[in-house]
Structure 1
């Protein structure tokens, strides 16, 4: 079988939405090549998840690569991908050069070559993410291991927005908590919440493929007894009360469900938001305050922001 590699030259801001578009179009895995990764001094805690070759990186912006099977619908699929990417400008997302190129690769080359990008990576004090094919021995007795198949879709958990979310969950999840993961993607935040001691985790995503991905990864990590995953539009119709709501999606989407999140969180509970490009920090911060939240933390990694807010305890 032959595969077509689609390569998009775009911006860091557009990585998440374009990756989503590619996955929804049937892509089996996404590779992101950002020249900043070549020069950034990584804190040893985070390790490295992939080997870097300078020749693979653009001078500015990023390359997003994905793989689609070559069939009679390929041309139509590529056209739909291009149209969806162009539509992102309606959401005030900078898509940069937006150059799209197509090339052909053999299945044997693709199936093995992309795996070289993924190695075990320590995300936080406790959490380490490993690809399913890697052998890994925990360094510490309290280390939490999350296994993911990066080829399944929706990320490997090592994008800065996900790292910020995982670090926040590690600080705030307590034994017996109820957690809602809004926009669960691969399920990495859902799994982490369960491993950190939550008694119930409810994962929601509008995309049916994401729900399946979450379900598979949840079983892979043995936390299916405390997790439920379902297709849902943000928190619409959800009456579950939670100690924590976590959401790693675009700033423009976060502000669409701030009110529902407030209603879903118990007094004294927390809203952990990420996926916020630096320029949209004030948009989300102001919206959270407007809906009654108190801002506890604003954290940054590269160009990305996470905000942790609290619903005040009931007074009187």
Structure 2
């Protein structure tokens, strides 16, 4: 039986974005793509497995639904290839589709080759780009590094290429292990340890802990995340409207916010103990 995906397009008011994202992920969505932001309205595309029990017309989101369609798995993969292009990030990083590896010249940038799979993390979303910019500044040689909600493994792979020593990636999605292994192989990176489960299953503390996770998913595990930090905490996946609350939460746990990066309504925060 051919696998397929259900795709829904929404136009969501700014004040509803966090609530909507929470409903999408609670319903089991595979990903949320930001199409554009215009006059306080976020246009997003949401992907679900074909067998997902998601009926937006039966939810408070029904008034924001502007379209839906179905794509076959083969079309899904080709759609990624059509839209996923090399992305330069910060001063020294470039994220490249894996199928362009042989023909693309990264010049003096650090290349991160990624095959888009079923987990989050291709380098195209603002939250990932902002996190990578902070990592470019904060990761130092031989540091220990924990990637919470690792998805495709893009941040763990970047940490290794930036010179980190011990790198641990954890994710509740079982697919994340396979994608980390695939992307590590493509990048010629080894030594990233994967932990299947939430952050509470990871042992020890780390010089740097990163989490590119939306606020409603981050807050329930935040106390456990901060316990893993010995020096630096990097947080992304936060909307600008949530900045004040997030900074207060970070400071409440004894951290000092050093830097906030911003792009298209998203922020990433660097904080130290």
Structure-2-length-normalised TM-score: 0.83
Give the deviation of 1:254 after TM superposition. Answer: 3.0
CA distance in 2, matches of 1:100, 1:178: 45
Partner of 1:8: 9
Alpha-carbon spacing, 1:214–1:97, altered in 2? closer, same or farther (3 Å): farther
Alpha-carbon spacing, 1:167–1:260, altered in 2? closer, same or farther (3 Å): same
Q: Which structure is higher in strand share?
A: 2
Q: Say if 2:210 is the partner of 1:246.
A: yes
What are the equivalent positions in structure 2 for 1:1-316 lying under 5 Å apart? 1=2, 3=4, 5-11=6-12, 13=17, 32-34=34-36, 60-64=41-45, 66=47, 68=49, 74=51, 77=52, 80-82=53-55, 86=59, 97-99=63-65, 101-105=67-71, 110-134=76-100, 135-140=103-108, 143-225=109-191, 227-233=192-198, 235-266=199-230, 269-311=231-273
CA distance in 1, matches of 2:169, 2:228: 14
**Structure 1: gaps spanning 5 or more residues:** 37-58, 90-94, 312-316
> How many residues are treated as equivalent by the alignment?
265
Structure-1-length-normalised TM-score: 0.72
Partner of 1:51: none
CA distance in 2, matches of 1:110, 1:256: 32
Q: Which has the larger radius of gyration?
A: 1
Give the deviation of 1:17 after TM superposition. Answer: 5.5
CA RMSD of aligned residues (A): 3.1
Alpha-carbon spacing, 1:171–1:3, altered in 2? closer, same or farther (3 Å): same
Q: Please list the CA deviations of residues 196-221 of structure 1 after superposition, one character each: whole Å capped at 9, or x if unmatched.
A: 00011111111212333223222222
Alpha-carbon spacing, 1:19–1:123, altered in 2? closer, same or farther (3 Å): farther
Q: Please list the CA deviations of residues 69-88 of structure 1 after superposition, one character each: whole Å capped at 9, or x if unmatched.
A: 6xxxx4xx2xx2347x95xx
Alpha-carbon spacing, 1:102–1:301, altered in 2? closer, same or farther (3 Å): closer
Alpha-carbon spacing, 1:194–1:81, altered in 2? closer, same or farther (3 Å): farther
